[in-house]
Structure 1
Amino acid sequence: YYRAIARANLAIENIPLVEMDATTRDRLVGECKFLRAYSFYLLVQWFGDLPLITHTLQGDEYYAQTRQPREEVYAQIETDLTDAIAVLKEKNEYAPADLGRVTKGAARGLLAKLYMIKKDWTKAEAQCMDIINSMQYSLLPKYADNFLKVGENGAESVFEIQAVALQTQQAAGPGSSPFNMVQGVRGNPNLGWGFNRPSDNLVISYENGDPRREATVIYVGEILPDGSTQVQDNVEIINERFNQKAWVPAHPGLQDNGPGNIRVIRYSDILLLAAEAKNELNKSGEALPLLNQVRKRARGTNNFILPDVTVTDQTMLREKIYKERRVELAMEQQRWFDLLRWGRAGTVMQAVGKTNFTIGKHELLPIPQTEIDLTSGRITQNPLY
C-alpha cells in the first residue's frame, strides 16, 4: 500500500505539469487522492500510527520516517477525500469504457466510513445521504448477483477494484488479483488455496431461510454456478466450506490469479451505515426504512422470512444493525473493521475461542522488523509486541 501511495504522490505532483483539459486534469488528480486516501484508510486500521508520506521521497528521506498519530492520518484522509469529491464525476457521467473509475460516490462512501470510525455521526449521515439522494445507485434484485460477473460495476457497486486474469504463473500478474486464488475452492477444477473460510459461528448467525447464507458459503457437494461440483478436498477438515463471494469459474492456465473484481463498497453498505449513524443520532424512525430496505431485498419474494425490524429503542436497534451488517457484508473484509470501531474486537474474538487474543495488543498488527531496522528505530513497534 505504500507503493500505491508513492505512485499516487508521483501522479499528484506531475499530472498538473501535463498540458490537458483542466477538468480532466483535476479529475485525474482527484482519483489519485482517493487512492492515496484508501491506502492510508486501510493501513491506519491495521497498524495505527503511520509514516504520513504525501510527497515523493528523495534520498535519505526514506530512512528518516517516523510514525505520525492516527488523528493526523485521519485528517489527511479527510482532506484527500474532500478534494476528490469536489472534482470527481458521478457514476452515470462516465462512458461505458470508463466504468470502474473512482466516482464522487466512492469518495463520499469512504469518507462516511472514516467519520464512522471517528464517531462523527452527523458528518457520516450527511455523506451517506448525499450518496442515497444522488440516485446513482440501487440494490440489485438478486443479492447473489453482486458477486458474479453479471454484477461487476453494477447498480449496487459504489467502488470495486478491477481485475483481469492473465496468462501468467505469477501469483498476481499485472491487472490480475490473487483475491480469488487465495480464497478459491481447493482441488480440481478450481485449484484455489482455500483460505479465509466461513466459520461455524458465521454460518449459524443467519436467520432461518436467509438466502444470503447460500450466496456466501460454498459447501461440499454444492453445484457451483459454472456447473462444477465442490468435492471433499481434505478429510481432516470437518464441515469444509469456502467463500462463495470470492469464487470465479476455473480458467485453465490462469490458476495463479483471478479475474474477479474485488467489491469494496456496495450500496447496501451505505444504507446500513446511514441507518447506524441515524440511530446514534436518535433518529430511529429514519434508520428503520434504510435497514429494512436491505432486508427486503434479501428476502426477495419470500415474505415468510426476514421480517421488517420494528424496534425503536436505540440500544436494541443498534444490535439489529450490527447483526445485519455481519450477514449482509459477510466475507467482504468489513467485519474486522466494524468490530474495531465498535470496540468489540477483543471480546468477540475471545468469545469464539481465540483465548490468546490480547486486548490492547492484537487489535493492531506488528510493525515489520525490517521497517524498524531500516529507519534505525525511528519507526517504533506497536504495544506489547
Structure 2
Amino acid sequence: MKPQYKFLSKMLLFKGRTLWCGLLALVLILGGSCKNNLVEKPYSFLGEENSFKTASDATVALDAVYDRLRTIYGMTMINLADLNSEELNVESTVGATILDFKTNTYSSSNPTFDSFYTNCYLLIDRANRVIKNVPGIAMDATAKAQVIGEAKFLRALTYFNLVQAFGDVPLVTSPTSDVVNVSIPRTAANDIYTQIINDLKDADAAGLPVKYTAAGTIGRATSGAVKSILAKVYLTRKDYTNTVLYAKQVIDSKSYSLFLDYKNIFPPENKNGQEHIFSAQYSCVKTAYGSPMAEFFSIYFSYPINQGGGAYNVEPAYVNSYLSGDYRKQVTIITQKVNPANNQLVSARNGPCVDKYWDPLPCAEFDARNNFMIIRYADVLLMYAEAINEVNGPTPDAYDAINQVRTRARNGNSSANPQNLTGLSQAQFRDAVLQERGWELCFEGHRRWDLLRTGKYISTLQAAGIPVSQKNLLYPIPQHQIDVNPALTQNPGY
C-alpha cells in the first residue's frame, strides 16, 4: 500500500475509533466509556443514585469529565482552529471531510462537527452529574468544594468551545437521560457567556490549589487555570478591564514562568511543566490513551519506525512571515529530520512540517505521549498585553509582557530578531500582538478564534487566497443534531 493511502486508512480508523467511543457513551451515558486518563476505573452513570456515595465515587466521576477533553482537543481542535486559517495546510489524500476545513467547503454533515458537538455535550452531562450529586456525599468539605469547582470549570471551558464554534447552542445545566437527543432549543450566545463566567467565578471561589503534586492529580484544573480561562473569556467578550484583572492575578502569583528555551515547551518529557497552565492529558501507558498528533504532523518515516505521517504542512507564506533569526521558526517548522533509527536524513514530502508534536518514543501508531496545551503562560502574557493596550494604549506593562515573549524568541542572542517593541501606536501594538500570537502559539488550537475575536478572520483568509464568506464566521450546527432535535435551528448560510 502506498504511504499516503496507508496514512488515510489509519486516519479513518482513528476517527472511527473516537466516534465509536463517543456514540457508545452517548447511547449508554457512560461516565467512563472508552478510557479514563487520571484514574483508570470504569464508571457508569446508570443507576446514578447508587454511584455517588463516597469521596472515591466523586473522584472517579470527576475523572470521567476530564476524560472527554481528549476527544474535544487534539486533532479535532487543530482542524477546527488551525487548519481553518492561513497558517496550516493538509495534503489532499487525507480526504474531503478534512480538506474542507482548509477551503471552507464543509457542510453541516461533516462528521467532525457532529463528533465535536457530541463529545462536548457528553462532557457537559458528566459535569452536570458531578455538580448535582457530589454535594450530597459525606466527605471533606474542602475536597468537595474543589471537585464541584473543577466540574464547573470543565463545563465552562466546554461551553466556551461550543459558543466560539457555533454561536447560540443549547444550555443544559442539569443531567439528562439522553444528553443530545432531546428537544432543547438554542440559547443566545450572550446567555451562554453569562453561564460560562458564572461557572468560572464559582470555580475561582472553590479553593482550587495552585499546583497538584499527588499521584493521579497532575493535570487537574488549578486556580491559575481558572483565572487564565476567565481572562480569555473576557478578552473574547472585549471586556478588557476584567481580562487585565485576571491575567494579572496569574502573572502576580509567580506560579508559572516561561521556559528559557522555546523548544523545551513541547517534548513529552516536559509536559505539565512550568509554562503549562492547563492541558488535555495524553499518555501511551495503554493503547488508545495516547495522542495522534505526532503521527499526523511529523515528517514521514516508514511504518512502524517513529510513526510519522506528515499529512499537515505549513503554508509557505506563513513560513516566510517570521522575522529573520526568530528562533521559534527553526523549532516549529522543519523540512528535514534525521531518522533516529538509522541516522538517515529524511525530507518532507509535501512542504514544511510542524515539529512541535514530535515524539521519538511513541507507544504505537496514534499513541504518542504529547499533551495538548489548552493554555500556557505565554498566552496569558500576550492576553495581558493586548487588554492593557485596549484600555490605556501601549503602556510599559504592556510592552514588558509582549517583550518577555519576544526576548525568549531570540534564544539568548541579543542582536537577533524579534527585537523588543517600543514606540508603537495603539493600532500598531494591537496588530503586533496578533502577529506575535501567530508566531508564538501557532498550531496549538488558537488561530481561528484569535482572528474571529479581533475581526480579522475574513480579511486574513482573503489575503491568503482562501475562499471565505460571512457565513464562515460560525460553523454549521451538525445536521445529525438537527435531525434528532427538532428544536434546533441552523446557522445562516448552511
After TM superposition, the score normalised by the length of structure 2 is: 0.71
2:389 corresponds to 1:279: yes
| Cα 1:228/1:77, change in 2 over 3 Å | farther
CA distance, structure 1, for counterparts of residue 243 and residue 392 of structure 2? 14
CA distance, structure 2, for counterparts of residue 132 and residue 138 of structure 1? 9
CA distance, structure 2, for counterparts of residue 84 and residue 34 of structure 1? 6
CA distance, structure 1, for counterparts of residue 319 and residue 188 of structure 2? 38
2:409 corresponds to 1:298: yes
2:394 corresponds to 1:289: no
Provide the residue aligned with 1:210 in structure 2.
326
**CA displacement, residues 265-306 of structure 1 (integer Å, 9 cap, x when unaligned):** 110110010000000112422210111111112212101112
Q: Is the 1:212–1:298 contact (alpha carbons within 8 Å) kept by the matching residues of 2?
A: yes
Shift of 1:311: 2.0
CA distance, structure 1, for counterparts of residue 312 and residue 198 of structure 2? 34
**CA displacement, residues 120-160 of structure 1 (integer Å, 9 cap, x when unaligned):** 00000000000001110111111110001232111111111
Shift of 1:88: 4.0
**CA displacement, residues 330-368 of structure 1 (integer Å, 9 cap, x when unaligned):** 1111111100100111111111011x211x211221111
Structure 1 residue corresponding to 2:293, chosen from 179, 194, 215: 179
Q: Provide the secondary structure at the position in 2 that maps to 1:276.
A: helix
Shift of 1:96: 6.2
Structure 2 residue corresponding to 1:351, chosen from 463, 476, 488: 463
CA distance, structure 2, for counterparts of residue 15 and residue 292 of structure 1? 45
Amino acid paired to 2:132: E
Q: Mapping of 1:140-159 within 5 angstroms?
A: 140-159=259-278
Shift of 1:85: 0.8
Provide the residue aligned with 1:382 in structure 2.
491
Provide the residue aligned with 1:255 in structure 2.
365
Amino acid paired to 1:135: K
2:214 corresponds to 1:100: no
CA distance, structure 2, for counterparts of residue 267 and residue 211 of structure 1? 18
The 10-residue stretch of structure 1 (150-159 or 224-233) with the greater mean CA deviation from structure 2 = 224-233
For structure 2, the 5+ residue unaligned runs are 1-119
CA distance, structure 2, for counterparts of residue 27 and residue 307 of structure 1? 43
Shift of 1:227: 8.5
Amino acid paired to 2:422: T
Structure 2 residue corresponding to 1:137, chosen from 233, 256, 279: 256
Shift of 1:218: 2.7
The 10-residue stretch of structure 1 (59-68 or 125-134) with the greater mean CA deviation from structure 2 = 59-68
2:420 corresponds to 1:308: yes
Q: Is the 1:140–1:155 contact (alpha carbons within 8 Å) kept by the matching residues of 2?
A: yes
2:203 corresponds to 1:84: yes
| Cα 1:270/1:65, change in 2 over 3 Å | same
| Cα 1:77/1:366, change in 2 over 3 Å | same
Q: Is the 2:212–2:220 contact (alpha carbons within 8 Å) kept by the matching residues of 1?
A: no
**CA displacement, residues 232-289 of structure 1 (integer Å, 9 cap, x when unaligned):** 464xx3xx2222112212435x113222111111101100100000001124222101
2:484 corresponds to 1:367: no
Q: What is the aligned residue count? A: 371
2:354 corresponds to 1:243: yes
Q: Provide the secondary structure at the position in 2 that maps to 1:223.
A: strand
Provide the residue aligned with 2:337 in structure 1.
222
Provide the residue aligned with 1:27 in structure 2.
146
2:180 corresponds to 1:69: no
Shift of 1:41: 0.9
CA distance, structure 2, for counterparts of residue 269 and residue 157 of structure 1? 10
For structure 1, the 5+ residue unaligned runs are none
**CA displacement, residues 61-110 of structure 1 (integer Å, 9 cap, x when unaligned):** 84211111111111111011111111143433644652221001101111
CA distance, structure 2, for counterparts of residue 241 and residue 296 of structure 1? 25
